[in-house]
Amino acid sequence: MQDIFTTASLWLGLAVVSAVIAYHLRISIALVEICVGVAAAAVVTQWGRTEVPGSNLEWLRFLASSGAVLLTFLAGAELDPAAVRTKLKEVSVVGLIGFLAPFLGCAALAYYGLGWSAPASLLCGVALSTTSMAVVYAVMLETGFNKTEFGKGILGACFINDLGTVIALGLIFAPFTYKTVVFLIASAVVLALLPFTTGLMTRLYAYRTAAIRTKWVLLVLLGLGSLAYWSGSEAVLPAYIAGMILAGSAARDAHWIRRLRTLTVGFLTPFYFLRAGTLVSLTALISAPVVFAVLLAGKVASKIFGLYPVVARFRTNRNERWYYTLLMSTGLTFGTISSLYGLTHGIVTTEQYSFLVAAVIASAVIPTLIAGIAFLPKHLLPAPDNGAPAEPGESDLGDEG
């Protein structure tokens, strides 16, 4: 137990350092945590103590995965169903192009440009086709765009983009078995009943039993996540759909969302973002930097050339178009998931996996930094809420409302 507490203290220490750096540099905490993770991994590698961070410890992987699941759920819960319906054409077209352009472009680049095998090239296309819901939502929270129609449109397009990635990974590589059928049917039943059961739970026990809705939502998310892993899928997809389904009721209770957000961003997501950074092997990148640069450039360029003309049809302001396009060019969760799937199933080599993960993580950092520094649409920023607590949720820790 002492080792667990020591390791957790180390990671939370890195999270505190990341928060201080993010405050002074005025950039997203998620991006800083990734970079700090990369730096920490490089330091322990230089010292020959690669076991110190414990990135692959089972309990730490659980915390990181839980952070990704809850952050994805919150992203879905932030969507306004009415706003999404009015922007259905936008989010569908942008999301679909956001998937197809890098999938086809990066697969062709890996096959013809880097000489990878056909399966490895297709896996490359899948891994680099993603948009990072975790990073985008973290940025939306920090800017306040999650409350605007502009931000909700970006989040909706991210979902369509990543849905295409998940479907492609399943159709091309994952076997369709009875487990897949069981997962789909069970998820459909649970998600269909979720609004009724959550509403009933709230009416009967909210305000009387401490945090019962949080416990109930965690039960549903982790249960569906377990079923997803059993079937060969991923836990974040049902989490996002669950968030979308509960978006209406979540919007009516901002205090509950704030509490859940505090738990997620304050404790769980630092493990996710820091761990993502520690997965990058600087040694592999230094030995073959051209491959990494080609993959990163291929992902970002195919996203930009595919998306910018499409986004321009829906956003007239220059900064809005570039900000939208660059955030859609990020990648993290599904990109690393797809890369790890390829490694564990022998589709890509260890070196190819390192290049893919590095390109995915770099795409989470570089486009987001450029977007925030050069193209932030300040005219769309919501007015600050002077009455809001400094840390959402910390001023209201009583029984749930």
Residue with tokens 């507490």: 5
Distance CA 88, CA 153 (A): 9
The burial class, CB within 10 Å (0-12 / 13-18 / 19+), for 328 is: buried
CA distance to 127, 294, 371, per residue, from 359 (Å): 10, 9, 18
Beta carbons of 366 and 303 less than 8 angstroms apart: no
Query: What is the per-residue pLDDT for 220?
Result: 95
Indicate the fold that domain 2-380 takes in CATH. Na+/H+ antiporter like fold (1.20.1530)
**Which region among 200-204, 248-252, 311-315, 368-372 has the lowest average model confidence (pLDDT)?**
248-252
The confidence score (pLDDT) of residue 272 equals: 86
Least confident of 24-28, 265-269, 326-330: 24-28
Q: Are 141 and 265 in contact (CB under 8 A)?
A: yes
CA distances for 82 relative to 34, 143, 308, 387, 389, angstroms:
34, 22, 25, 27, 28
Q: Which of 177, 161, 185 is nearest to 232 (CA)?
A: 177
Residue 263: CA count within 13 A, CB half-sphere: 17
For residue 128, name the pLDDT band (cuts at 50, 70, 90): very high
Residue 387: is its pLDDT beyond 80?
A: no
Q: For the chain, how far is it from start to end, CA to CA, in angstroms?
A: 35
Q: What is the pLDDT of residue 251?
A: 62
Q: What average pLDDT score do residues 250-278 get?
A: 84
| Mean pLDDT within 364-374 | 90
Locate 72 and state its tokens: 């994805």
Q: What is the pLDDT of residues 287-306, one digit of tens each?
A: 888 999 999 999 999 999 99
Confidence of residue 398 (pLDDT cuts 50, 70, 90): very low
Question: What size, in residues, is the chain?
Answer: 401
Mean pLDDT of 194-208: 83
Q: Please list, residue by residue across 351-371, b when 16 or more beta carbons sit within 10 angstroms of its beta carbon and e when fewer do.
A: ebbbbbbbbbbbbbbbbbbeb
pLDDT at 107: 96
**Mean pLDDT, to the nearest integer, of 86-94?**
90
Read off the tokens for 231.
């079937």
pLDDT bucket at 109, cuts 50 / 70 / 90: very high
Q: Answer whether residue 182 shows pLDDT above 60.
A: yes
Contact 33, 18 (CB under 8 A): yes
Q: Give the pLDDT of residue 384.
A: 67
Q: Where are the domains of the chain?
A: 2-380
Q: What are the two backbone dihedrals, phi and then psi, of residue 283, each rounded to the nearest 5 degrees?
A: -60, -45
More confident call, 32 vs 83: 32
What is the rounded CA–CA span in Å between residue 269 and residue 229? 20
Residue range 4-60, pLDDT digits in tens: 899 899 999 999 999 999 888 877 787 788 889 888 888 888 887 766 678 888 899
The predicted model gives 133-142 an average pLDDT of: 83
Of the two residues 314 and 382, the one the predictor is more confident about is: 314
Overall average pLDDT of the 129-152 stretch? 86
Half-sphere exposure of 152 (CA within 13 A, CB side): 17
Non-local CB neighbours of 148 within 8 Å, separated by 6+ positions: 380, 382
Output the CA–CA distances (angstroms, integers) from residue 297 to 17, 37, 44, 144, 300, in the order listed: 30, 22, 29, 29, 5
- Sign of the torsion formed by the C-alpha atoms of 52, 58, 60 and 61: positive
SS3 content of the chain, % helix, strand, coil (to 5): 75, 0, 25
Please report the pLDDT score of residue 187 as a whole number: 93
Residue written as tokens 């026990």? 205
Read off the tokens for 148: 């605007």
Can you give the pTM of this predicted structure? 0.76
pLDDT tops 90 at residue 99: yes
Question: Which of 5-9, 88-92, 121-125 reaches the highest mean pLDDT?
Answer: 121-125
